[in-house]
Structure 1
């Protein structure tokens, strides 16, 4: 289910970037330090920036994964069991 949600969210983002790119045909030149690009459409530059951002986040998630959801859930369930055992009166 989570995979389907991620896929739909990615497709909606791609559609939004495509619409934004299509409606911004104005050309501009990018200046960075001593480098200067040829004139490029604003929409293309936005699409490239979003793509690089998604790629960076994706690579970061692959290189530095956090704890898995299932491992965290197991730890929390064990902690709940421990706390419940503390609250029970001795028999």
Structure 2
């Protein structure tokens, strides 16, 4: 388990610090991990779940390919260079001048 801390700055509202803390825990996947470990899952059941997830990912990739969505360098829908052809702006979200 990881320890998370966020220092509340003197001129910062508590809500903003709480939002930063929530963001940190979400990025680390802490809640997802806790929910996953809440109940024991037998290895055979876990394999079945992983197979089903894999099938769903493959089917989604096929659907996206049919629509014409190009899989980028950082995965489907990522902000990598490959996603720029699918409506991304390019230079870090800034509009061209």
Return the TM-score normalized by structure 1. Answer: 0.33
The structure carrying a bigger strand percent of its residues is 1
* Higher Cα Rg, which structure: 1
Return the TM-score normalized by structure 2. Answer: 0.31
